[in-house]
Amino acid sequence: MKEYSLIDGRMIPGIGFGTWQIPDGEIVKESVRIAIANGYRHIDTAAIYDNETGVGEGIAASEVRREELFITTKVWNSDRGYDQTMRAFERSLEKLDVGYVDLYLIHWPARGDSGRKENLDTWRALETLYKEGRAKSIGVSNFLRHHLIDLINDGEILPMVDQIEYHPGYTQPETVDFCREHNILVEAWSPLGSGKMLENEQLKQMAEGYEKTVAQLCIRWCLQNETIPLPKSTTPERIIQNLDVFDFTITDEDMAVIDNLPYIGGSGLHPDKINF
């Protein structure tokens, strides 16, 4: 498994198992258990996914030691602010029941001028959790350049990760370039565009040339662009397939073709326009 080093020197596995939209209970428990049994060591959830209990149960059911796993969760928008975030963290940790979180993220930036203070107050809570060692690393999600600049200017600790929507046709270059300049690792949510990439003819043809699936091509493309894909699946064969991406290399020419694909679908969610 490819690994990256975070700014604070800790290692993060290069592919994570995404759990967005996987229902709590047996389904997520079993998906996480299968993912870990097949080599995933990095699991990504969030309070709003409402599946932290099942994710924790899947981890407990796995035969891998806690220290070998990298667990991420996120504070939801309705819990912004210092005290609320501290309480939200306790709830997440209790549900996950994993002792500590490897990476705690602010899920979405708050908007506008009032949002700047809210983001900073939330970030202060993450800084406290980091200093207490309860969140081993801290970062953000869906932060654009201007949100990151505010945190860097006014915060004490640099965010270590920015988890953004990232897939062919939607590469957010301004945010990614800024992250690179500041040693902030980029994680890719919806690396398959929530499945929308899979029917694209150009990607299908290219994938065939490598004797791989479009999903594997997208995941490999993320890796070669030094982002950490978080593919989600509840289908055991696909969970396994999505990690089987280390026996081929996309040529520079094909990388450039994928890098330059026009928009072919995605979530349509923009951090400065969301109303949740």
Which residues participate in catalysis according to the annotation? 49
The answer to whether 54 contacts ligand A2P (rule: CB under 6 A) is no
**The two structure tokens encoding residue 170:** 């939607």
Distance between CA atoms of residues 105 and 135, nearest Å: 10
Taking CB under 6 A as the binding criterion, the range among 71-79, 83-91, 147-155, 185-193 that sits at the site for ligand A2P is: 185-193
DSSP single-letter state for residue 211:
T
The answer to whether 27 contacts ligand A2P (rule: CB under 6 A) is no
Tell which one of 86, 144, 198, 261 touches ligand A2P (CB under 6 A): 198
**Half-sphere exposure (Cβ direction) of 167: Cα atoms closer than 13 Å:** 26
| Pick 17 or 104: Cβ nearer ligand A2P | 17
The answer to whether 33 contacts ligand A2P (rule: CB under 6 A) is no
Per-position x/- string for 207-226, each x denoting binding to ligand A2P as judged by CB under 6 A, each - no binding: ------x-x-----------
The answer to whether 119 contacts ligand A2P (rule: CB under 6 A) is no
The answer to whether 53 contacts ligand A2P (rule: CB under 6 A) is no
Tell which one of 13, 14, 16, 18 touches ligand A2P (CB under 6 A): 18
Which parts of this chain interact with ligand A2P (CB under 6 A)?
18, 190-195, 198, 213, 215, 231-235, 238, 241-242
